[in-house]
Structure 1
Amino acid sequence: MARQQERARRTRAALVESAAIEFAKRGYAAASVNTILEGSNATKGAMYFHFQSKEELARAVLQAGVEQFTALTERWTRRNDLDPFEALHCLVVDLAELFRTNVIVQAEFRLIIEPEFYADVQSGGSQVWGATARQFALRAQKEGLLREGVDTEKFTRVLAASLAGQRYMADLTELRGDLADLFEESLEVVLAAMASEQWHEKFARQGWPECRSELPEL
């Protein structure tokens, strides 16, 4: 029984990964179930044992993406040795690395903008890391690291829009390898407008600390 369960778990994981590769490359509508099956070495019967439809398989990819984002945000919210903007910087740098290297995350980003999944935006990965960015902004406000009168919702909204725009432009201009630099650029522009003089003075002296996680790699 245990061996069968492990085999079933591996088959499901292989299907999700193969589907992510196909969705990231072609999007939802053009994705081929046969290509997914070939990539996973699974039979059509095995696929429909785990997933009733291509849509259900795509939703499993979306959920796997959310789990990746959740693990990432937890990595940096647990850090007490960084100020909130330093932790946010490490978060966006790691986020860029996920977008660059993780096919599950790439597929989530592609799927979430397709008509079949518009409703999932409200529970997608952007909501996970966006909520964490808002949490860091609230911490910064309490610690006097934002300029007086800065709206934390505006801070989060402008940053999220800039990161999303950088992500799209990286694909259009073939700059995906430079995504961490682009994300860092977006954060620094927002902070230039909204961070306190106290924080800017510290940043001018020290710059960004190295982002070393205390948690295992994703």
Structure 2
Amino acid sequence: MARQQERARRTRAAIIKSAAVEFGKSGYAAASLNRILEGSRATKGAMYFHFDSKEDLARAVLETAVERYRACAERWLARADLGPLDVLHGMVDEIALRLEHDTIVQAEYRLVIEPDFHRDAGNGGGRIVGRATRVLAVRAIDDGQLRPDTDPDRFTRTLAAALAGQRYLVDPIGNGSAADLRARFAEVLEVIVEAMATPVWIQNFRSDGWRAQARLDDLGLGA
């Protein structure tokens, strides 16, 4: 029984991964179930055992992406060895890496801008990152890294919009790379943070730079 359950789990994960690749490349409407099956090496019966429809499969991809965003946010928020703004940089840097290398996160990004799933954007990865960003902004105010008059909600909204804009700019170019996206995300964060940071933090940052960054090996994408 345990071996059957593990086989079923692996089959379901393979179908979701293949679906993410297909949705990421073709979008929802043009996505082909046959290509998803070919990529997953699963049978049609196995697919319909786990998923009722293409929409059900797309929502499974969205849910998997949300789990990854949640794990990312929780892992960085737990870093007690770093100041809140360095934690924020590490989290933003990981998101850039995932947008470049994680097919699940790439598919979520593609799906939530389509009419069929646009309503899901408010409950997706962006919401999780936004909540974590606000927590870190409050911590940064309390720790004297951001000025006392900083509005955490305004900070969070502005950062989220700027990061989304940079993602849209890099993606259509076609020759963008992980380094491009990471550099753009870091630039956005630095501009916004320096506009609201205390003089002491700015002085230390210009001397030492960021103390944390994400590593591709830590993302668990081979699992």
What is the TM-score when the length of structure 1 is the normalising length?
0.95
Equivalences, count: 217
Shift of 1:152: 0.8
Measured in 1, the distance between the counterparts of 2:157 and 2:135 equals: 13
Map 1:97-176 → 2, pairs under 5 A: 97-173=97-173, 174-176=175-177
Q: Residues 17-58 of structure 1: CA distance to partner in whole angstroms, max 9, x if unpaired?
A: 000000000110110011101111111111111000000000
Q: Residues 52-94 of structure 1: CA distance to partner in whole angstroms, max 9, x if unpaired?
A: 0000000000011011111111221111111110110111111
Tell me which residue corresponds to 2:187. 185
Map 1:1-218 → 2, pairs under 5 A: 1-173=1-173, 174-177=175-178, 178-211=180-213, 217-218=219-220
Percent sequence identity over matched residues? 53
Measured in 1, the distance between the counterparts of 2:219 and 2:39 equals: 25
Shift of 1:216: 5.2
Shift of 1:172: 1.6
Conserved? CA contact 2:91–2:214, under 8 Å? no
Question: Greater shift after overlay, 101-110 or 146-155?
Answer: 146-155
Q: Which runs of 4+ in 1 moved over 6 A?
A: none
Q: Give the partner amino acid of 1:192.
A: E
The answer for unaligned runs of 5 or more in structure 1 is none
Shift of 1:205: 2.1
Q: Give the partner amino acid of 2:23.
A: F
What is the TM-score when the length of structure 2 is the normalising length?
0.93
RMSD (Å), alpha carbons: 1.5
Measured in 2, the distance between the counterparts of 1:217 and 1:192 equals: 29
The answer for unaligned runs of 5 or more in structure 2 is none
